[in-house]
Amino acid sequence: MEKSDNRKEKVIPGDELAVIEEYESGKGTHIIDGQIRASIFGKTKFDNKNKSVEVESLENSSVLPQAGDKVEGRLENDKALRIIKINGKISFGSLVGLMAKTKMPNWGTNDYIRASVVSLTNGLIHVMIKNNNEDEGVIRSTCNSCGDRVVKVQKGVKCVSCGYFKYKTLASDFQE
């Protein structure tokens, strides 16, 4: 495999590598709108003879989560999940998942949650807490009012200091 001088040697997820008219998508890549993009952190390998491109994983690198994968992370707001773990393994990337809309989100900013990836669409990681899965939901939380410690009560959490109660979908391994 040859390396062209005008191509990036090291790439991160989302970097454009080529277009589908020039090359075929190989290992460590995916296609979005006719562009071949990196799915993982790594080094590019262009095979000019077979007209294919792939990304070889670097040690301690992160992979983009795929539909069905479990992710854990901290909510930055009601829609953005900063992904810290993918399938239980620490993600060294700076990935953000978009929380699927629900009628009434029952989580709060800075909650640490576990959710499922439902799709990778338009370059976005879409995640959702599935109600039928006890493994998913809030794992750790603090009071939305005063920021102190909360304990599990009924179908939510209650602050030990100010008594603020909030309904939340709690994971089976919720940590008080």
Written as six digits, the tokens of 72 are 């854990």
CATH of domain 70-167: 2.40.50.140
d(CA 159, CA 174): 15
Structure tokens at 67: 């539909």
> Tokens 């090291």 map to which residue?
10
Q: Which of 66, 147, 79, 161 is nearest to 113 (CA)?
A: 79
How many angstroms separate the first and last alpha carbons of the chain?
53
Common-topology check for domains 10-57 and 70-167: yes
pTM: 0.63
Domain boundaries, the chain: 10-57, 70-167
- Give me the pLDDT at residue 2, please: 45
Whole-number Cα distances in Å, 78 to 50, 75, 139, 143: 46, 7, 16, 15
- 128-156 mean pLDDT: 89
Between these two residues, 175 and 41, which has the higher pLDDT value?
Answer: 175
Domain 10-57 classification at class level: mainly beta
